[in-house]
Amino acid sequence: MGAGIVQLAAQTGHPVVACDRSVEALERAERYVREGLRRFADRGAFTEGEAEEHYERIQWTVDLGEMAPVGAAIEAIVEKVGPKKEAFRALDAIIAPDALLLTNTSSISITDLASATENPGRVCGTHFFTPPPVREAVEVPRGLLTTDETVERAKGLVRAFGKIPIAIQKDVPGFVANRFLMPMLIEASRLLDEGVASKEEIDLLVKKGLGFPIGPFELGDFIGLDVGLDVISYVHEELGDAYYTPPRLLKEMVRAGKLGRKTGEGFYSYGEEA
């Protein structure tokens, strides 16, 4: 997800500092961005020369200190509270006091993440959807202490990326999008586990019957089954609602390392497509 946000920012004219602790992760992100820009150029969105110009706007680094001059930092790491708070503490100590501190979380409390900082008023959510260069809308959830100015600045940044900001007024687990999407993945997993229908049949009914562009198992594989499980587990823990109990089948697949497209196998097998 982070690589997609990097690509989106760069191809809309913004200089980007892309930072990760892992050299391997940065190399994967570089390949993702190069391939993404090439696909856009192939479709005629811009020329190959412009694609190269977009790529040259990106500074790749493992040194967090190089984030110091940024006007907005967008955290896009694993969907777990602890690591995100650790990242927020580090960024809060480095970036300028008036810089935005944003998170791509799709479910976690903005108020909770902001508690790791000295200035929670500048913390806000910017939840991009997969893949960020393609999807048109971005959720902008606010925390209890997020200022109105921060929300407006975050919305302005999203618009500068060519996207539609949708402000979420209450800091609820899963925000809006995942409160719709995760129940679909939960129900699909339970139906499959109970032998009601095959994964192919369930996906086909959702697409050809309900008119969705993608089936729940295809979607789960696309976003990553580990990400889906993290979101469902967090919402379950926060709401205390038994309905959100993570499906056994989903937990087993994550334990087995079958995470979807990114590992080559999830509910479906992808091989060299992944």
- Residue 198 annotated in active site: no
CA gap 41, 49 in Å, rounded: 9
**Is residue 255 classed as helix, strand or coil in its secondary structure?**
helix
Burial of residue 176 (CB within 10 Å: 0-12, 13-18, 19+) is: middle
- Residue 106 annotated in active site: yes
Annotated catalytic residue within 104, 106, 107, 233: 106
Q: How far apart are the first and last CA of the chain?
A: 15
- Residue 139 annotated in active site: yes
The continuous run of DSSP H or E covering 191 comes out as helix 177-193
Annotated catalytic residue within 178, 218, 233, 265: 178
CA gap 26, 90 in Å, rounded: 19
Annotated catalytic residue within 75, 79, 139, 265: 139
Residue type (1 letter), 104: N
CB 77 within 8 A of CB 83: yes
CB 203 within 8 A of CB 219: no
Strand order in the sheet with 164-168: 127-128, 137-141, 164-168
Annotated catalytic residue within 54, 109, 127, 218: 127
CA gap 189, 201 in Å, rounded: 13
- Residue 119 annotated in active site: no
Q: Which residues are catalytic?
A: 106, 127, 139, 178
